[in-house]
Amino acid sequence: MAQPVLIDYKQHSKTLIKTQRGAEYGENVHFIPVIADEVRALALAYPICFLKDNNTGQFGLNVLTGFEAGENLFLQNNEWRTHYVPIHLRRQPFLVGVTENGAKPTSDNTVLTLDMDSARVNTEQGERLFDEQGNASAYLTQMVDLLGQLMSGNNRTEVFINALLEQDLIEELQLSITLKDGQQKRFDGLYNINEAKLAELKGQALEDFKMKGYLQASYLIAASTGHIQTLLNWKKQA
Amino acid sequence: MAQAIKSIVIVGGGTAGWITAGTIAAKLQSEHADGFNITLVESPDVKPIGVGEGTWPTMRRTLKAMGVRETDFIRQCNVSFKQGAKFAKWVTGAEDDFYYHPLVLPQDFDSTNLARHWMERPFEQSFSQAVSPQEAVCEVGLAPKSIATAEYTSIINYAYHLDAGRFSVFLQQHCTEKLNVRHVLDNVTAINAAENGDIASVSTTTNGDISGDLFIDCTGFKSLLLGEHFKVGFKSCKDVLFVDQALAIHVPYESEDAPIASHTISTGQSAGWVWDIGLQNRRGVGHVYSSAHTTEEQASEELLNYIAQTGGHVNEADIRRIPLNPGHRVKFWHQNCVAIGLSAGFLEPLEASSLLLVEISASMIADQFPATRDAMEIVAQRFNSTFLYRWDRIIDFLKLHYMLSKRNDSAFWIDNRDSASIPQSLQDQLTLWQYQPPWHNDFEHAIEVFPAASYQYVLYGMGFDTQASALGMSEVYKQKASSLRQKNTQQIQQMLKTLPSNRALINKIHQYGLQKV
């Protein structure tokens, strides 16, 4: 369980953050939440899909990185196999804390916190949070910026997903793969764009989709599904 | 050119009227241009009876076909999930006497008759527990799905418990706003005949004459068109099914987050039984009994005892009395008029067959919608023979619950076993089932109201004895059956671990809603 604390110069003047990639930092996950703003960069390498939150049933935008818990096929010997790493991983171990209980995060009610349980947090190696004068380091400024992007991006993504749902453009993906031992495994709970319905979009809905960039994002997401094949190949080689 | 059927007039609102309107409107709208119209005339003075609060799983299909969002329906009609019925005190009347009729079929029911395997050692587990995971799920009050399961789909089969009053209003809104059904709130003052004996129009107090090509009678027990106007005869079934009175009352929960049972609980009494249906905001409880076997005072006392024993607090003065006349019309479609709902007949609330009949009647009319008046003759004949068959099968199935009882504590249960009160068709089936468990081909029709599985659940739930086959059981069959039973045990463990409680899921649906996909 993450243990977030407020970032403060007095407490964290000696704190260092390891920035390398790796399973030891909790990056061995088989899907990663992403934001709509990242779709263009992600679509070049990752299968982007929609997954439901088990607790709320609400759709979220994700990239698929493996086929079972603990499996991240993009991570090979602690090296990332593609140039782009989702913001959700890059901003760790920083978190946004919401000061009002249960409220939706906005720039007015949020604070920057640090997950002290993260293996990245130490006092021996890595990036500093503050310089000698107590000013935020370039690294910390960059992290604050990433979290800002993530927060506003989450809200935009939710609006985007609601627009897709309103037009019935999300459908369940039928995926079954053959494992090395020849066993067939079916995957439930992966959703992507219904391309046939997307092509039928017309009138005001189509205009809105074009103007807001939803149309392009939808086609990128739909096409990105093909990267599942890359993942399968990697899995076979593993 | 033959006279086309374009104009449909439904007389009577209530759940029957609105389910019929919605089902037919959605079907015609999806298949035709706008050459048809549907009008529903409803008296502002007649209150619906509003006690039909249990449905079948078919209601999911019915609502989906109408274009209703399940989330809206659940939020607005105080809906909870129903996964079958628990029958308490129907066999011996003892405190620990109960069995389940779950909604899910036994494992691999298409091709394996697990009853044969279960009968080898019936004392180890109840039949429903051995062949399906649903009894275990119901016993701990779990929901049939999770918040991540799409609308109308299930992890384990389910139907609904609903607030009948709210349901009519909800459907009315959907039908008038989305399906273009015209709603006329007015009293019908006369029924006007055409030369050929059809109904040409109905006269109303302030909206004049409303004419139509097809009239659907949803006027409840009154049966204004089919019964009063056409004088189509009524066939009483009181000689088979004895209950003829209902006492109904709403029972509040002790707290807002009280658990909601995920099944109908029906508990045998001295001359009938008590239904107990848990909605979101209250329970609907009622006692149906035979007036030939007890008095209203006695029946009322038994109802109040039941409510007290189950932790409820009610005011005796709030009990509503509803007389029942078990039976049905000798035909349901006559000339250009078809009756749906109570106007066609009513047996008793056991097994929630009333709303089911409304759904399948409306859907048959929608599917086989007569294009012309000539075609209507043929459709009407088929409708009548199909539904006479269905009523008979429902009567058989309901009677089964009573005649298998071993209770000797009152004349009601003893009289129910009198062979003179048991239809020949049921007696024949029982003779067969002494030697072999019910199976698909024991019934005439491909689509039965109650499938062979339902008969198995009731027969073996009530301790009916089917002899083991003298020919024994093959090794292959034994292995198949035991692996299915193992699978059932695994499913139970899995479901108990992952399903939320009925109340928790309903709360989440209020908070987040279910997704369409």
Read off the pLDDT of residues B297-325 as tens digits, 9 standing for 90 and up: 999 999 999 999 999 999 999 999 999 99
Q: B32 CA to chain A: closest CA distance, Å?
A: 21
Q: Which residue in A52, A165, A170 is closest to B148 by CB distance?
A: A52
Residues of A near B (CB-CB distance < 8 A)?
52-59, 165, 168, 170-172, 189, 191
Q: How far apart are CA B88 and CA B98, in angstroms?
A: 4
Q: Per the CB < 8 Å rule, is A170 touching B517?
A: yes
What tens digit of pLDDT does each residue of A96-153 get?
888 777 777 777 788 889 999 999 999 999 999 998 888 999 999 999 999 999 999 9
- Return the pLDDT at B471: 85
Name residue B208's amino acid. Answer: G
CA-nearest of A117, A116, A114, A105 to A150 is A105
Indicate whether B187 pLDDT > 90: yes
- Return the pLDDT at A98: 83
Q: Which residue in A58, A165, A191 is closest to B512 by CB distance?
A: A58
Q: Per the CB < 8 Å rule, is A172 touching B508?
A: no
CA-nearest of B287, B271, B306, B305 to B402 is B271
Sign of the CA dihedral with B47 first, then B49, B55, and B59 last: negative
Q: Does residue B342 have a known ligand-binding role?
A: yes
All residues at 6 or more sequence positions from A32 whose CB lies less than 8 Å from its CB, including other chains: A62, A63, A65, A86, A88, A89
Q: A222 CA to chain B: closest CA distance, Å?
A: 17
Supply the residues of B annotated as catalytic.
82
Preceding peptide of B423 cis, ω within 30°: no
* Percentage of chain A exceeding pLDDT 90: 70
Contact list in B for residue A189 (CB cut-off 8 A) is 148
Which segment of B110-124, B182-196, B229-243 scores lowest on mean pLDDT?
Answer: B110-124
* Percentage of chain A exceeding pLDDT 70: 99
Mean local confidence (pLDDT), B318-345: 97
Q: How far apart are CA B160 and CA B163, in angstroms?
A: 10
Contact list in A for residue B148 (CB cut-off 8 A) is 52-54, 57, 189
Contact list in A for residue B508 (CB cut-off 8 A) is 56-57
Q: Does residue B16 have a known ligand-binding role?
A: yes
Q: A122 CA to chain B: closest CA distance, Å?
A: 38
Mean local confidence (pLDDT), B187-212: 97
CA-nearest of B59, B68, B82 to B158 is B82
- Return the pLDDT at A1: 52
Q: Per the CB < 8 Å rule, is B517 touching A55?
A: no
Task: Report the b/e string of A166-200 with b at 16+ CB within 10 A.
Answer: ebebbeebebeeeeeeeeeeeeeebbbbbbeebee
Q: Per the CB < 8 Å rule, is A56 touching B516?
A: no
Q: Per the CB < 8 Å rule, is A57 touching B513?
A: yes
The complex's ipTM?
0.86
Residue of A nearest to B504 (CA): A55
Question: B418 or A182: whose pLDDT is higher?
Answer: B418
Q: Per the CB < 8 Å rule, is A168 touching B513?
A: no
Q: Which residue in A56, A168, A191 is closest to B512 by CB distance?
A: A56
Q: Which residue in A52, A55, A168 is closest to B516 by CB distance?
A: A168
Q: Which residue in A56, A189, A191 is closest to B147 by CB distance?
A: A56
Quote the crossing angle between the two packed helices B424-433 and B452-461, to the nearest 10°.
70
Mean local confidence (pLDDT), A158-165: 97
- Return the pLDDT at A183: 82
What tens digit of pLDDT does each residue of B60-100 get?
999 999 999 999 999 999 999 999 999 999 999 999 999 99
Contact list in A for residue B511 (CB cut-off 8 A) is 56
Contact list in B for residue A167 (CB cut-off 8 A) is none
First-to-last alpha carbon distance for chain A, in angstroms, is 30
Residue of B nearest to A193 (CA): B517
Q: Per the CB < 8 Å rule, is B147 touching A191?
A: no
Model confidence band, residue A39 (pLDDT cutoffs 50, 70, 90): very high
Phi and psi dihedrals of B10, rounded to 5?
Answer: -105, 125
Could you give the residue ranges of the DSSP H alpha helices within chain A? Answer: 9-12, 39-42, 87-90, 138-166, 195-200, 203-211, 214-224, 228-237
* Percentage of chain B exceeding pLDDT 90: 91
- Beta strand spans in B311-396 (E): 320-323, 327-329, 333-334, 337-339, 345-346
Q: Does residue B13 have a known ligand-binding role?
A: yes
Mean local confidence (pLDDT), B269-273: 98
**Distances B410 to A212, B265, B269, B399 between C-alpha atoms, Å:** 74, 21, 9, 17
Question: Which of B69, B74, B145, B147 to probe by mutation at the A interface, max A CB count within 10 Å?
Answer: B147
Mean local confidence (pLDDT), B470-499: 94
- Return the pLDDT at B305: 98
Q: Per the CB < 8 Å rule, is B516 touching A165?
A: yes
Which segment of A108-112, B108-112, B132-136, B287-291 scores lowest on mean pLDDT?
Answer: A108-112
Fold for B7-53+163-239+326-393, please state it: FAD/NAD(P)-binding domain (3.50.50)
Model confidence band, residue A157 (pLDDT cutoffs 50, 70, 90): very high
Q: B489 CA to chain A: closest CA distance, Å?
A: 22
Q: A16 CA to chain B: closest CA distance, Å?
A: 40
Indicate whether A175 pLDDT > 90: no
Mean local confidence (pLDDT), B167-192: 97
- Mean pLDDT estimate for chain B: 95
Mean local confidence (pLDDT), B93-122: 94
Residue of A nearest to B149 (CA): A57
Strands B264-268 and B84-88: parallel
Q: B513 CA to chain A: closest CA distance, Å?
A: 8
CA-nearest of B255, B229, B246 to B319 is B246
Model confidence band, residue B328 (pLDDT cutoffs 50, 70, 90): very high
Residues of B near A (CB-CB distance < 8 A)?
146-149, 508, 511-517
Indicate whether B1 pLDDT > 60: no
Query: Residues A78, A21: contact at Cβ < 8 Å?
Result: yes
Which segment of A76-85, A96-105, B341-350 scores lowest on mean pLDDT?
Answer: A96-105
Q: What is the largest CA-CA distance in chain B?
A: 75
Q: Per the CB < 8 Å rule, is B515 touching A52?
A: yes
Question: Which of A52, A164, A171, A193 to probe by mutation at the B interface, max B CB count within 10 Å?
Answer: A52
What tens digit of pLDDT does each residue of B9-65 get?
999 999 999 999 999 999 999 988 778 999 999 999 987 777 779 999 999 999 999
Residue of A nearest to B517 (CA): A171
Residue of A nearest to B511 (CA): A56
Q: Does residue B489 have a known ligand-binding role?
A: no
Q: Does residue B82 have a known ligand-binding role?
A: yes
What tens digit of pLDDT does each residue of B422-461 get?
999 999 999 999 999 999 888 877 678 899 999 999 999 9
Mean local confidence (pLDDT), B390-396: 97
- Return the pLDDT at B443: 85
* Percentage of chain B exceeding pLDDT 70: 99
Containing B239, the helix (H) or strand (E) segment is: none
Indicate whether B247 pLDDT > 80: yes
Q: Which residue in B146, B514, B517 is closest to A191 by CB distance?
A: B517
Which segment of A178-187, A211-220, B324-333, B397-406 scores lowest on mean pLDDT?
Answer: A178-187
Contact list in B for residue A53 (CB cut-off 8 A) is 148
Q: Which residue in A53, A58, A171 is closest to B517 by CB distance?
A: A171
Mean local confidence (pLDDT), B277-283: 96
Contact list in A for residue B517 (CB cut-off 8 A) is 168, 170-172, 191
Which tokens go with A69?
A: 């818990």
Residue of B nearest to A190 (CA): B517
Question: Which of A53, A55, A104, A197 to probe by mutation at the B interface, max B CB count within 10 Å?
Answer: A55
How many contacts (CB atoms, under 8 Å) link A and B? 32
Q: A142 CA to chain B: closest CA distance, Å?
A: 34
User: DSSP string covering B448-465, please?
Assistant: -SS-HHHHHHHHHHTT--
Q: B499 CA to chain A: closest CA distance, Å?
A: 11
